[in-house]
Amino acid sequence: MRPAIIDWSKMKNIQKIHRVFYAIGLGPLIGRIILLLETTGRRPGMKRVTPLQYEMIGDDYYVGAARGTKADWVRNIQSNPQVEVRAGSKHFQGIAEVVTDPVKFADFLEVRLERHPRMIGLIMEKAHGLPRHPSREQLEELAKTEAFVILHPTKFSEN
């Protein structure tokens, strides 16, 4: 596996654009693949909003953390798992569960690859140095340094 080539400063700019899309009323359109996750900052206790790609699996929302447990939003969840989520026109409070189990993470990646083979395949190739159609063993190896979060809705709000 070659090292990831991700410019995190560009990711911050993309995240700003996603927040603007929600702010101007395009949430129902962009919300098919991007949600806004609001966490409570672990140090100052301020609310933090992070746009993230997600997958619905059953009644829960699954989000991957490319930086694993080093991602600020994941560290915020580890400190306080109560979150608010806006996904399209849905808005809810929930409990976030950080998952680092490589087998479960590989299962999650297989779902993402099945649903979005081009997009996720390109991410596997460009960001992780894997082939576009990685083997189960390659996914489990990648999962050793990654994390994902399951967002369990507890209370829906009207918009």
pLDDT of residue 131: 95
Residue with tokens 């140095």: 129
φ, ψ at 17 (rounded to 5°)? -60, -45
pLDDT of residue 64: 92
**pLDDT level of residue 1 (50, 70, 90 thresholds):** very low
pLDDT at 155 over 90: yes
Domains plus CATH for the chain?
8-157 (2.30.110.10)
CB atoms within 10 A of CB 93: 14
Least confident of 15-19, 59-63, 110-114: 15-19
Count the helices and strands in the chain (H runs, E runs): 6, 7
Q: Which helix (H) or strand (E) holds 17?
A: helix 8-23
For Cα atoms 117, 121, 126, give the angle at the middle one, nearest 5 degrees: 160
Q: Identify which of 46, 47, 90, 72 has the alpha carbon closest to the alpha carbon of residue 149.
A: 72
Please provide the DSSP assignment of 65-105 as one string: ETTGGGSHHHHHHHH--EEEEEETTEEEEEEEEEE--HHHH
Pick the more confident residue, 8 or 35: 35
pLDDT of residue 2: 47
Per residue in 83-141, pLDDT (tens digit) is: 999 998 899 999 999 999 999 999 999 999 999 999 999 989 988 899 999 999 999 99
105: its two tokens:
């993470």
What is the reported pTM? 0.84
